[in-house]
A and B are shown apart, each in its own frame.
Chain A
């Protein structure tokens, strides 16, 4: 087999065909939604108080969930990538387990741990009077549970690619561990960091199963857009389409905007972009 030239101008026909099929597979459902969209009702549905509340709850909780995932996930990814300790593979598996857990089961598992009678939640309730189920904080907990693995995986993979000699060099020049992490390591993995952040945010925004199980469904408090959409589908399918459109528009805009500006995907060939 001959080696392919790097930077070939035109992809092979077969790859093009299959890629086209994949694109069509992703695009058709959205075309389907747009096709059935009751355009004349878009304004009135989106102007509805309940819908605006759901959108607000969704945006607030998903952003918060992404921030929490960042604050906890980056240190976790760093420890997993840089240090060899007994049981590391177990810790790694554990911290990505919620990706494969059916979200509804995840929600029930959260009850058993953070619920009012849960392993840990009963003390939260008894000592601090904090109850997570049926609260906005509960929504964030459910979202972080399913979203953080996306950040951990992405950032850990990138951290493993960073040449350790950069850090060593910086340290010989007198940089403290924190300075090296902040000034050398983090900038080197910035694209992965942002990608992970966006992925976990998007996952949190679309979260349904764990949320409705653990946090319940109360308009203005725990009813996020996916929950509102699901319930609208039963009584008024047209307004459910409009709700989906809002969610798609927000996500698509963010994904599109971030991709080119921050990730440097189209032009950059190196896996680590220069800061």
Chain B
């Protein structure tokens, strides 16, 4: 046992040393661009795109069997922050132009709009509180939740309420649109303003109440390949697929409009 001891010590020492060397090697590695169109890509998508992009991903890999796509979904504002901190995004699909514009150091080519979305009031199935319009959101017996002004849906909600002249005090400012949907679906909140597509995605667990066209906001979704992408060719092919008739048909099924 005592004979084996020094060797084990050196083994551990080697491991520790290897870790340190390995870590420094990672940080100094040169950025290499992979032009293979089948290179695995990571798509950063606004959380309202979760369902539609899941299906688009399946259709895309059916069309290009050697391709590999992974998705990372979250609030557009959160995704921009992650990409700017070095998260390996090959495609960024944002719920608003402002988040796209904050991307550093920009994109390969100008971002292209690929979908639109309208807003709806989300309520519980059967609409137990009898919410018929924006004015009901200000009622004292209605628990209304919104999103933080940093998040696109939070900003859109402010715009809609301002346009309708409604002053409603939200009980919570969620970190993303799914947070609003969850609070209503779980029954903790009575109403929130979300995208039409979110109401559709919630299925039988929620109901949508229309917001009149003149005060409604049409959100336009831009898509682009971040300049830092290491697989720009594969990423560009995915973007083209999203904008193709096949991609647009899937988006339409999830309630998105054409740009």
| B69-93 interface with A by 8 A CB criterion | 75, 77-78, 80-81, 84-85
| B135-163 interface with A by 8 A CB criterion | 143, 145, 148, 150-151
| A203-254 interface with B by 8 A CB criterion | 212, 215-219, 222-223, 227, 230-235, 237
| B162-182 interface with A by 8 A CB criterion | 170-175, 179
Query: How far is it, in angstroms, between the C-alpha of A111 and the C-alpha of B188 when the chains are bound?
Result: 8
In the complex, chain B residues whose CB is within 8 Å of the CB of A17:
13, 16
Q: Decide: A212 and B175 in contact? CB cutoff 8 A.
A: yes
**How many residues of B are counted as interface, with CB atoms below 8 angstroms from the partner's CB atoms?**
32
B33 within 8 A of A: no
B252 within 8 A of A: no
Query: How far is it, in angstroms, between the C-alpha of A115 and the C-alpha of B184 when the chains are bound?
Result: 12
Q: Decide: B78 and A234 in contact? CB cutoff 8 A.
A: yes
Query: How far is it, in angstroms, between the C-alpha of A230 and the C-alpha of B84 when the chains are bound?
Result: 15
Query: How far is it, in angstroms, between the C-alpha of A21 and the C-alpha of B150 when the chains are bound?
Result: 38
Using CB atoms, name the residue of chain A closest to B10: A14
0 or 1 for each of B165-206: is its CB under 8 Å from A? (1 = yes) = 000001111110001000100111000000000000000000
Min Cβ gap A59→B in Å is 21
Q: Decide: B12 and A217 in contact? CB cutoff 8 A.
A: no
B31 within 8 A of A: no
Q: Decide: B9 and A115 in contact? CB cutoff 8 A.
A: no
Using CB atoms, name the residue of chain B closest to A228: B148
Q: Decide: B77 and A235 in contact? CB cutoff 8 A.
A: yes
0 or 1 for each of A73-117: is its CB under 8 Å from B? (1 = yes) = 000000000000000000000000000000000001001000111
In the complex, chain A residues whose CB is within 8 Å of the CB of B78:
233-234
Query: How far is it, in angstroms, between the C-alpha of A115 and the C-alpha of B13 when the chains are bound?
Result: 52
In the complex, chain A residues whose CB is within 8 Å of the CB of B183:
216
Query: How far is it, in angstroms, between the C-alpha of A117 and the C-alpha of B189 when the chains are bound?
Result: 10
Min Cβ gap A131→B in Å is 8
In the complex, chain B residues whose CB is within 8 Å of the CB of A212:
174-175, 179
Q: Decide: B187 and A21 in contact? CB cutoff 8 A.
A: no
Min Cβ gap B5→A in Å is 8
Counting chain A residues whose Cβ lies within 8 A of the other chain, the interface size class is 20 to 34
Min Cβ gap A208→B in Å is 10
In the complex, chain A residues whose CB is within 8 Å of the CB of B77:
234-235
Contact residue among A1, A115, A222, A237 (Cβ-Cβ distance under 8 Å from B172): A222
Q: Decide: B13 and A231 in contact? CB cutoff 8 A.
A: no
Min Cβ gap B47→A in Å is 13
The CB with the most chain B CB atoms within 10 A, among A21, A111, A216, is that of A216
Using CB atoms, name the residue of chain A closest to B183: A216
0 or 1 for each of A129-147: is its CB under 8 Å from B? (1 = yes) = 0000110000000000000
Q: Decide: A218 and B173 in contact? CB cutoff 8 A.
A: yes
Query: How far is it, in angstroms, between the C-alpha of A117 and the C-alpha of B1 when the chains are bound?
Result: 63
A134 and B172 in contact (CB under 8 A), knowing A1-B2, A17-B13? yes
In the complex, chain A residues whose CB is within 8 Å of the CB of B186:
108, 111, 115, 117
Q: Decide: A21 and B16 in contact? CB cutoff 8 A.
A: yes
Using CB atoms, name the residue of chain B closest to A17: B16
B19 within 8 A of A: yes
| B1-27 interface with A by 8 A CB criterion | 1-2, 5, 9, 12-13, 16, 19-20
Q: Decide: B188 and A116 in contact? CB cutoff 8 A.
A: yes
Q: Decide: B174 and A116 in contact? CB cutoff 8 A.
A: no
Contact residue among B1, B19, B171 (Cβ-Cβ distance under 8 Å from A21): B19
In the complex, chain A residues whose CB is within 8 Å of the CB of B20:
21
Contact residue among B5, B13, B80, B172 (Cβ-Cβ distance under 8 Å from A217): B172
Q: Decide: A18 and B172 in contact? CB cutoff 8 A.
A: no
**8 A-B pairs in the complex with CB atoms less than 8 angstroms apart:** A18-B16, A108-B186, A111-B186, A212-B179, A217-B172, A217-B175, A222-B172, A237-B81
List the 9 closest A-B pairs by CB distance, nearest first. Answer: A216-B172, A234-B77, A235-B150, A134-B171, A117-B187, A133-B188, A234-B150, A234-B78, A231-B148
